[in-house]
Amino acid sequence: MADVNIVNGDDEIVGPDKKKQKTLTSIKEGILLGYGNPLLDISVNGTEEFLKKYDLKPDDAILAEDKHKSMYDDMAKTYADHVEYIPGGATLNAIKLAQWLLRVPDATSFFGCIKKDEFGNILEKKSKEIGVNVKFQYTDKESTGTCAVIVTGKNRSMCANLAAANLFTEDHLNNSENWSLVEKAQFYYIAGFPLTVSPPSVLRIAKHSYEKKKTFCMNLSAPFLCQFFKDPMLQTLPYVDILFGNETEAETFAKENNLETTDRKEIAKKLAGWKKENTSKSRVVVITQGEGNVIVAKDDKVTEYPIIPIAADDIVDTNGAGDAFVGGYLSQLVQGKSIEECVRCGNYSANLVIQRSGCTFPEKPSFQ
């Protein structure tokens, strides 16, 4: 597919007779590649009786145990008339938001592991409908990863069964067709969660990015990763050009690595100054703080950007807000926009998603 010129998100031919020339950005097919743990979110408006059946709390987020394994099929059957299936998982959430904003088919690619079962087929189909070029690794050892989202009133109970998502291997990168997508991409995004699955895959992509002078982005993603998967995280960090995280993750990283400060701005500065292989490109560290300002550190300088104010009554679901922010940021990054524009689009995306159920979005973006 040829490059597509995008003007403010819409295909347009700009001629010399235009009174106002708009900036053209050439978005290449496959410019952004993500690798992560794909999950199919199965979302329903449920009942307290259903929660009790599987020993779930109304407002909680847990990993599935054996007693929950039959719940996903049960949800699909019990709530067949109004069940909603949403492609999910932290990395895929960010990639699909970026794809939605870029509006060029296959501008983004994604790697992850699923099974060719009913939920896997839905996950693959819906991801492709968004425009993401998904290249899954398939396994027969586990079912496709799922996350139950059971809404009761204002509460959301989430129960994730990683299953096949945990079985991704570096073999997938040895396939020439898949590796060609790595070579084609100029930007990479990997949430921290794959560090629990296949650290060699993460490191291989990160090293490729460094060797070819591309841009590699990673996310701290969860406090437990900073604690219990510290070694693979620290092995990858020198190759990271842009690092994302929220306030809790940043504070946990600081504690675990003896940064001797709880000041988030100082943490961001120290992370920005962490050992980096590609010294010709400064590391950018982006820390979100929920309702607080977004902190950005680069070259020993810290800048704060306010979020978009929102009334509490307008917030529907904060899950996925961080992923949406990253997706918005990446959509502008691949177009060569400034940090300020990247953050502005990140805030737009997060603000949009928290006013909807699940990490979802309307047909077309309104970001300008």
The catalytic residue positions are: 323
Cα–Cα distances in angstroms (integers) from residue 1 to residues 14, 23, 129, 181, in the given order: 20, 22, 17, 14
Among 83, 58, 82, smallest CA distance to 153 is for 58
Maximum separation of any 2 CA atoms in the chain, in Å: 67
- Check if the beta carbon of residue 283 is closer than 8 Å to that of residue 243: yes
Among 242, 285, 292, smallest CA distance to 267 is for 285
- Check if the beta carbon of residue 149 is closer than 8 Å to that of residue 44: yes
Among 215, 69, 251, 30, smallest CA distance to 259 is for 251
Q: Write phi, then psi, for 32 (nearest 5 degrees).
A: -125, 125
Checking phi first, is residue 270 left (phi over 0); if not, alpha (psi -120 to 50) or beta? alpha
